[in-house]
Each structure stands twice: as C-alpha cells, then as structure tokens.
Amino acid sequence: MFQKDNIHPVLEIRLEGDVSFPEYKEHVKEGKIISVSHIKLTALTAGMSSNKTSVALFIDLPDGKVVFAETSLRLFLIAARMLQAKYGEE
C-alpha cells in the first residue's frame, strides 16, 4: 500500500526532549516547524519486509500533503519502554 524501498527503519530516541534536538533551533526561529494537533497511528500487519508488524504514523499538513512515517513494532515498543522507565506512567 505504501512505498516499500526495503529500507530498515531508524527510530532515533532522545529521552531529554526539551533539549534533545538542537539541530532544529534555527528551524524554530525561522518558523519552519509545523505544529499539528492530530497524529494518526496504526499497526500494519506484515508491514515490514520481514512480514513483521510495523507501526505507521500519518500527519496531515496544512497544505494538504501527508507525512507518512513507519517503524517496526519492535522499535516502537522499545521507545515506549524507555520513555516509561524514565518518566513513569504519567
């Protein structure tokens, strides 16, 4: 259904979000960050080239374009566990 280039997903996890992405500081100053309030998340059965489940995020942009991001369920759960271990179940 979605583009498959046999790319292995990369999920970059930075637990200190308030200071973790200095490379975007200029983007904020220049108004290049688009803030959205609605993110769609779903599981795609056999979404990975290995036929394992993937997690997909869809973000509708104001100009009508849609951002699609996909990672393995395994990496998504690792990220969730890391965040939970650091911040608890707020």
Note the pLDDT of residue 25.
Answer: 85
Please spell the DSSP secondary structure of the chain, one letter per residue: ------PPP-----S-TTTS-GGGHHHHHTT-PPP-S--EEEEETT-STTS--EEEEEEE-TTS-EEEEEEEHHHHHHHHHHHHHHH---
Euclidean distance between CA atoms 72 and 11, whole angstroms: 9
pLDDT per residue as tens digits for the range 1-55: 565 566 677 888 888 877 778 888 888 889 898 889 899 999 999 988 889 999 9
Note the pLDDT of residue 16.
Answer: 82
Mean pLDDT of all residues in 44-72: 92
Pairing mode, strands 54-60 and 40-44 = antiparallel
Euclidean distance between CA atoms 52 and 25, whole angstroms: 36
Note the pLDDT of residue 23.
Answer: 85
